[in-house]
Structure 1
Amino acid sequence: MKFAYFILGSSFDPARDRASIGDGKATIVGVPSIEAACEVARELADDGIAAIDVCGGFREEGARRLIEATDGRVCICPAHHLPEQEELNRSLFSKS
């Protein structure tokens, strides 16, 4: 099975910020936006990727957009934090 992990950050360029391990079975891609992630997800779906884990920055809305972008062909797996770490999560990832 081939899978990927997407990390979201405004400075990422998915053409440059991409690496694979395990003979190409696992790929990490940095994307600057949900729109860019949708483009990369379609590309990877066409290449036979089975699942994409996404960082918590995608939130539910971003994960749903990826499901739509891949026509439900790829299992989209959003990462999340536990409720007891909500304050820490906000302090690390909230925009000022």
Structure 2
Amino acid sequence: HDRALQHYRHHLTIARELRDTQSEARALANLGNFHSWKGEYAQALPYYQQYLALSPGLQDLEGEGKVCHNLGYAHYCLGQYRDAVRYYEQDLALAKDLQEKLAQA
């Protein structure tokens, strides 16, 4: 587990040095997922929130939806139910937007 965490942190550092927003977002999501998988939900939150701060420039509704879902789950596990509902609603809205865009294509 320690090697995976080191790898994700290194990925984030390199992405930021290169100013590669897509890569930075992936690294942030991976770090959030890593902590979530370990049951460290409070530690996962800042990584997911940083991802969402980058998301307007990513044009990735699917990725944004996944992170909103993960944020909802993390808040749920922490007993923060209002925040959980807020992120689950955001995930649902993004899923509807994505479905509409796919239907138009």
Structure 1 and Structure 2 fold alike (TM over 0.5)? no
- TM-score range with shorter-chain normalisation? 0.3 to 0.5
Higher helix fraction (1 or 2): 2
Higher normalized contact order (CA 8 Å, seq sep 6+, divided by chain length): 1
TM-score (norm 2): 0.31
User: Between Structure 1 and Structure 2, whose CA radius of gyration is higher?
Assistant: 2
TM-score (norm 1): 0.32
